[in-house]
Amino acid sequence: MTPDKKISFLTTALLFVLIIFSTMNLMSCGDNNIPLISAITPGSVTISVSSHALLSDTGVTISGSNFGSSQGSQGQVYFDNVAVTTVASWADTTIVLSSTPIVPNASALTTSGTSYTANVYVSANGLASNIVSFVYNGT
C-alpha cells in the first residue's frame, strides 16, 4: 500500500468513526422540542387543470407535536419551501390552515390525471419538523 493510499484509508476510516459517533451522540440527546408532524388532513386535493383553482377547499389540518402554544414570530408552515399565509389557528399539537395553498409547481398542472406532490414542513422556535407529502391531483 502506497503512502497516499494509507492516508486515504485512514482519512476514510476516521471519517466513518466520526459519523458513527456523531449519529450516536445525536440519537442520545433526545431533544424533545423538535416539531414533529404526525398527519396532514386532507392528504391531497383536486385542482382544475384549466383554471388552476381547487375544486373544493376545506382547508388543511396539520397534527403533530412541539409546534408551540402560539405561532409567534418564528412559527411557519411551508409547502415546497413557500411560506403559507393562511394560518387560521396554531396550537402545540394542531395547526389549521383556512385554505389550501397552491404552490407554483401544482398550479402548473396542465393535464388531467396528473398529480404533483409538495413537501410540507413546520418551523417552530427555530427548528424544522419532519417533511410530509401533500398531493395535488389535476382534473
CATH number (3.40.50.150, 2.60.40.10, 3.40.50.261, 1.20.58.480) of 36-138 reads 2.60.40.10
28 pLDDT above the threshold of 80:
no
The per-type count for the chain, helices as H runs and strands as E runs, is 2, 10
- Of the two residues 34 and 29, the one the predictor is more confident about is 34
Q: Per-residue confidence at 18, pLDDT binned at 50, 70, 90?
A: very low
Task: State mean pLDDT over 70-90.
Answer: 94
Cβ pair 80, 57 in contact under 8 A: no
The residues spanned by each domain of the chain are 1-30, 36-138
Cβ pair 88, 96 in contact under 8 A: yes
Q: Closest Cα partner for 54 from 97, 6, 7? A: 97
Q: What is the pTM of this model?
A: 0.74
Grid coordinates belonging to 20: 458513527
